[in-house]
């Protein structure tokens, strides 16, 4: 009988593990610099949906720029990219800054995110109710631009700029416009006119939309009925309002 000590026994060569590692591209950590905001995530997270964001990381790394520290660089404001990234990780929607996150989702073409945001009560009312109403107000967006342009032109050496706006709710109001303009002071410039429109919202609703949209551009504004210098015998039409920009 052949004796063999433990010392004489030589184990067979170690066999390679049968475990299959994660594909390096899918498991690797990506360090991002989005307009100066730093993030770390998995490549698989960035590629979760078919989007422009996924396309940035779908080719050779040379196609994506890097900062001085080797982080992948996206030249865009990253203030709300964290909310986009959180959705990609967990399917969780943000609870604040919905419009800003929606804008980022549109930019990166992440359809599941911007479609779900559009279904939230806040954005549903904005997109379905408010925007459909404003689409029925002739030249609404153009008039907002005109208001801002005039206000900026009148801001020289002044704390405030006041622009007159005329709101015509109905076609009947439009018929009285010439008489209403004649009731103003002779030295008053023409008003920027909104309306008429065929929808339920009132004049107050329209004025609120004007104020909101101008303030979204970063301006401070207030709206008050315009007080004319008419005599007590002249008719008051109530079409005119003063939109006042406060600069400092």
- For 8-12, 57-61, 223-227, which range has the lowest pLDDT when averaged over its residues? 8-12
Higher pLDDT, 4 or 64: 64
74-127 tens-digit pLDDT: 999 999 999 999 999 999 999 999 999 999 999 999 999 999 999 999 899 888
Sorted by where each begins, the domain ranges of the chain are 24-119, 140-246
Phi-psi sector, 163: left (phi>0), alpha (psi -120 to 50), beta: beta
Higher pLDDT, 148 or 59: 148
**9: pLDDT confidence band, cut at 50, 70 and 90?**
very low
**222: pLDDT confidence band, cut at 50, 70 and 90?**
very high
* CB crowding 5-20: b at 16 or more within 10 Å, else e: eeeeeeeeeeeeeeee
128-175 tens-digit pLDDT: 889 899 999 999 999 999 999 999 999 988 999 999 999 999 999 999
Q: Which CATH fold would you assign to the domain 24-119?
A: Potassium Channel Kv1.1; Chain A (3.30.710)
User: Is pLDDT at 244 greater than 60 in this prediction?
Assistant: yes
- Quote the pLDDT of residue 178: 85
What torsion do the CA atoms of 204, 206, 211, 213 make, to the nearest 10 degrees? 150
**What number of H helices and E strands is found in the chain?**
12, 7
């Amino acid at each position: 009988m052949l004796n063999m000590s433990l010392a004489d026994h030589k184990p067979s060569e170690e066999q390679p593990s049968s475990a299959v590692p994660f594909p390096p591209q899918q498991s690797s950590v990506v360090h991002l610099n989005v307009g100066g905001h730093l993030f770390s995530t998995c490549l698989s997270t960035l590629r979760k949906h078919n989007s422009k964001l996924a396309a940035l990381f779908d080719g050779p790394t040379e196609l994506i720029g890097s900062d001085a520290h080797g982080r992948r660089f996206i030249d865009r404001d990253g203030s709300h990219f964290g909310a986009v990234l959180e959705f990609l990780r967990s399917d969780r929607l943000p609870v604040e800054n919905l419009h800003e996150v929606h804008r980022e989702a549109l930019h990166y073409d992440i359809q599941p995110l911007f479609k779900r945001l559009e279904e939230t009560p806040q954005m549903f009312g904005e997109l379905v109710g408010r925007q459909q109403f404003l689409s029925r107000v002739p030249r609404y967006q153009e008039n907002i631009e005109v208001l801002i342009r005039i206000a900026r032109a009148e801001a020289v050496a002044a704390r405030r700029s006041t622009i007159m706006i005329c709101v015509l709710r109905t076609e009947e109001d439009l018929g009285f416009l010439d008489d209403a303009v004649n009731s103003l002071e002779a030295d008053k410039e023409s008003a920027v006119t909104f309306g008429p429109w065929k929808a339920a919202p009132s004049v107050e609703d329209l004025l609120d939309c004007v104020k909101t949209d101008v303030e979204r551009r970063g301006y401070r504004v207030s709206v008050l009925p315009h007080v004319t210098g008419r005599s007590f015998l002249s008719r008051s039409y109530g079409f005119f309002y003063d939109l006042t920009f406060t600069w400092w």
